[in-house]
Amino acid sequence: MKIYFLQFLLIVFFLTNCVTTQEAFDIEGHVFNLDNGTTVIVGFLNTDEAMYPGNFEGEPNSEFARYPEMAQRAGIEGTVVAYLNINEEGELLESRITRGIGGGCDEAALQIVRNSIYTPAKNQNADPVSARHYVSVTFML
C-alpha cells in the first residue's frame, strides 16, 4: 500500500512541475506554415524571471524552417527550447538545446536559430550589450 501511495505522490509531483513549467513561459513568434501542411513556430521566451537586458530581437530565416520527416512519421510534436549567447554585435556565440523532443526536431531547431539574424540587446543607455536568451521552436503537425 505504501508503494502505491509513493508512486501516486511521485506522479502528482511530476505533473505539477510540468504544469508550472509550461505556465511560466509566454511564447510569441514567427509562424512558418510549411508546404507539407505542418507548422513551425519560432518564438522568443519571456519567463517570469525577466531577463535583463531587454530589447532583444531576432529574425528567423524561413529557408531553414523545416519539420523533420522522421518526426512527422512518428507523430512527434512539441516545443524545443534553445539557449543562445549573443554578443553586442548581434553575433551568435553559443547555442545549445536545453529541452528537446527528439525525432530530428532538436537538430532542426538548432539549424533555425544558428541561421537567424539577431539584433543585440541594449542596456539602459541604449548601448548594445551581449546577453543570453532562450528561444522556443514549436513543431505542430
Give me the percent of the chain exceeding a pLDDT of 70.
72
Element (H, E) at 95: strand 92-99
Q: Which residue has the higher pLDDT, 140 or 2?
A: 140
* Residue range 24-61, pLDDT digits in tens: 344 567 888 898 888 888 887 754 433 444 455 778 88
Selection from 99, 108, 61 nearest residue 79 by Cα: 99
Selection from 4, 26, 34, 16 nearest residue 112 by Cα: 34
Does residue 37 sit within a domain? yes
User: What residues make up the domain containing 55?
Assistant: 26-140
Q: How many helices and strands (H and E) does the chain possess?
A: 3, 9
Going 65 to 68 to 73 to 77, the CA torsion angle's sign is: negative
Does residue 5 sit within a domain? no
Is residue 101 scored above 60 in pLDDT? yes
Does residue 109 sit within a domain? yes
Does residue 126 sit within a domain? yes
- Number of folded domains in the chain? 1
Beta strands 131-140 and 128-129 are unpaired
Distance from C-alpha of 46 to C-alpha of 24, rounded to nearest angstrom: 8
Q: Which residue has the higher pLDDT, 53 or 100?
A: 100
Mean pLDDT over the full length of the chain: 78
Does residue 52 sit within a domain? yes
Does residue 44 sit within a domain? yes
- Residues 6+ away with beta carbon under 8 Å from 13: none
Does residue 15 sit within a domain? no
pLDDT score for 81: 94
Model pTM above 0.85? no
* Residue range 102-132, pLDDT digits in tens: 999 999 999 999 999 888 888 888 888 888 8
CA angle centred on 114, ends 113 and 117, rounded to 5°: 75
Does residue 49 sit within a domain? yes
